[in-house]
Amino acid sequence: MRPLKSDLSIYKKFNFKNPPVAVKFLLSKPEGIKQLDKALPFCEMLREAQRGGIPFYFSKENESCVGKVVLGMDDMLPFVEGGLIGPRFGIYQEPRANNKIYQYIPKFDKGIVNYVAFSPLDKLPFEPDLLVLTATPSQAEIVLRAMSYSTGEIWETRATGVLGCA
Per residue in 3-32, pLDDT tens?
778 888 899 999 999 999 999 999 999 999
If pLDDT is split at 50, 70 and 90, which confidence band does 141 have? very high
Write down the pLDDT at residue 130.
94
Sign of CA dihedral 20, 25, 30, 36: positive
Structural domain contains residue 4: no
Check residue 117 and give left, alpha or beta (phi > 0: left; psi -120 to 50: alpha).
beta
The verdict on pTM exceeding 0.85 is yes
* SS3 per residue for the chain: CCCCCCCCHHHHHHCCCCCCEEEEEECCCCCCCEECCCCECHHHHHHHHHHHCCCEEEEHHHECCCHHHHCCCCCCCHHHHCCCHHHHCCCCCCHHHHHHHHHCCCCCCCCCCCEEEEEEHHHCCCCCCEEECCCCHHHHHHHHHHHHCCCCCCCCCCCCCCCCCC
Write down the pLDDT at residue 138.
96
Structural domain contains residue 165: no
- In the predicted model, is pLDDT for residue 113 greater than 90? yes
Write down the pLDDT at residue 5.
82
Structural domain contains residue 56: yes
Amino acid letter, residue 122: D
Contacts for 8 with CB less than 8 Å, ≥ 6 apart: 20, 121, 124, 131
Q: Which residue from 134, 133, 128 is spatially nearest to 57, judged by alpha carbons? A: 128
Write down the pLDDT at residue 159.
82
Query: How far does Cα 44 stand from its chain's mean position?
Result: 9
What gap in Å lies between CA 9 and CA 47, rounded to an integer? 21
If pLDDT is split at 50, 70 and 90, which confidence band does 105 have? confident
8 Å CB contact between 118 and 23? yes
How many domains are contained in the chain?
Answer: 1
8 Å CB contact between 115 and 58? yes
- In the predicted model, is pLDDT for residue 114 greater than 90? yes
- In the predicted model, is pLDDT for residue 71 greater than 80? yes
Structural domain contains residue 164: no
Structural domain contains residue 63: yes
Structural domain contains residue 2: no
If pLDDT is split at 50, 70 and 90, which confidence band does 121 have? very high
Structural domain contains residue 153: no
Structural domain contains residue 115: yes
For 43, the domain range is 9-148
Q: Mean of the pLDDT values across residues 68-73?
A: 92
